[in-house]
Amino acid sequence: MARVDLYNPSEEHLALRDMVRQFAEKEVWPQAQAHDRDERFNRALFRKAGDLGLLGITVPERWGGAGMDAVAATIVHEELSAADPGFCLAYLAHAMLFVNNFMVNADDGLRRRVLPKVVSGQWIAGMAMTEPHAGTDALAMKTTARRDGDEYVLNGAKMWITNGAVSDSELGDCFLVYARTGAAKGKALSSFLLEKGMAGFRLGQRIKDKLGMRASPTAELVFEDCRVPVANRIGEEGESSLHMMRNLEIERLTLAAMSLGIARKCIDIMNQYATERHAFGQSIRNFGQIQRYLGDSYAEYMAGRAYVYATAAAMSDLRHAGNRLDSDGVKLYCSTMAKNVADRAIQVLGGYGYVGEYHVERLWRDAKLLEIGGGTLEAHQKNIAADLRRVVTLR
């Protein structure tokens, strides 16, 4: 077992990493190739993650969770992604985008009713923010929620929703949905708990034939005069822009952690292959170009890993935003780093890297999504430049 350090700052973190790595190697890795090929979500495996206490990793123990911090969430995402980034993305949408956000912002009545189901994995959850014509510009969303007595009436559609469909025809179980409740662009958004079976709430198209993350189900959600009780509103009306921005920090941190897992697995594979493969009478790791691929990949991975875990350690209070600069920074750096490392791994393996047997082509395809989802590279660059305007000197 590794020593306690930046990446495992306590014995509890160390035990968590050991447990999740064993789960990833024994149960997640063996199923990854088949579920990617079939574009199929592994619900049974998801329930096992619930049995291990992973689905409520940041939920306080009194609410049935593990009561752990941002470093713990980072560890889980790095380890799961090293085995199957598609499965890990479904996990992130459930545990971070829904469960963490819901825990922080919902009232106790909703917590008592919903948390036991999502922490156990009985319900599969997601978050619905992106729309067909509103992605990075989330505040331009058009889905509306009109108050009508003790209910809201929702109309609109959400697109690219992870865990939107757990099969070709079946919705996920519950979603945190953002909708416009006012005219002003900034303070006009509210969020609601929507549950499968509500009248007017239906599955649109199941999005298939994706480049990567194929084991992570993606779908369109449609709201047609969908009536939602006022009791299902998360927080006060009009305050959900803050909910959204606050949760983006842990989302981007854990997406960066997914990048670490991809890069680490690719380095392991190409390192082993470079020793075993011989050409011109010697191991190919003796050739300078292969050494460059290995050396650059390792150094970039370790730089990213240090940045990610330092940022996680600084994110002590998940209830408050405060470090957009580095949550954007780690995802900006690590997402491209993982894609580049996976690309080098394919190059080192040559023809073998181009086929599924050696896994690196799947990891390369999965890595590309991390430069787009949860904020594009361009959005991170814009945010970092804006935040640096307020920084006099770097310390």
CA atoms of 44 and 27, how far apart (whole Å)? 11
Residue 2's pLDDT is what?
56
Q: Where are the alpha helices (DSSP H) in 225-359?
A: 240-276, 288-314, 324-349
**Could you say which of 3.40.50.620, 3.40.630.30, 2.60.420.10, 1.20.140.10 is the CATH number of the domain covering 241-388?**
1.20.140.10
CA atoms of 153 and 304, how far apart (whole Å)? 45
Q: Which residue, among 81, 74, 137, 82, has the nearest Cα to 100 in the 3D structure?
A: 74
| CATH number, domain 11-124 | 1.10.540.10
What tokens were used for 288?
């300078």
User: Which entry of 251, 300, 361, 371 is annotated as an active-site residue?
Assistant: 251
Equal fold, 11-124 vs 126-237: no
276 catalytic per annotation? no
Q: Which residue, among 69, 78, 82, 121, has the nearest Cα to 98 in the 3D structure?
A: 121
Q: Which residue, among 161, 75, 86, 163, has the nearest Cα to 121 in the 3D structure?
A: 163
pLDDT tens figures, 37-63? 999 999 999 999 999 999 999 999 999
> pTM (2 decimals)?
0.95
Stretches in the chain below the pLDDT threshold 50: none
Q: Where are the alpha helices (DSSP H) in the chain?
A: 11-23, 29-38, 43-51, 70-83, 85-92, 101-105, 108-120, 240-276, 288-314, 324-349, 360-369, 377-388
Residue 275's pLDDT is what?
96
pLDDT tens figures, 117-155? 999 999 999 999 999 988 778 778 999 999 999 999 999
Residue 242's pLDDT is what?
86
**For the chain, what are the domain ranges?**
11-124, 126-237, 241-388
pLDDT tens figures, 179-225? 999 865 555 899 999 999 999 999 999 999 999 999 999 999 999 99
CATH class of the region 126-237: mainly beta
CB 162 within 8 A of CB 96: no
Residue 40's pLDDT is what?
96
Q: Which residue, among 260, 252, 201, has the nearest Cα to 227 in the 3D structure?
A: 201
Residue 143's pLDDT is what?
96
What tokens were used for 47?
């329930």
Residue 186's pLDDT is what?
53
Q: Under DSSP, is residue 390 helix (H, G, I), strand (E, B) or coil? A: coil
Residue with tokens 């090293």: 82
Residue 185's pLDDT is what?
56
Residue 182's pLDDT is what?
81
β-strands 278-279, 201-207: how paired? Answer: unpaired
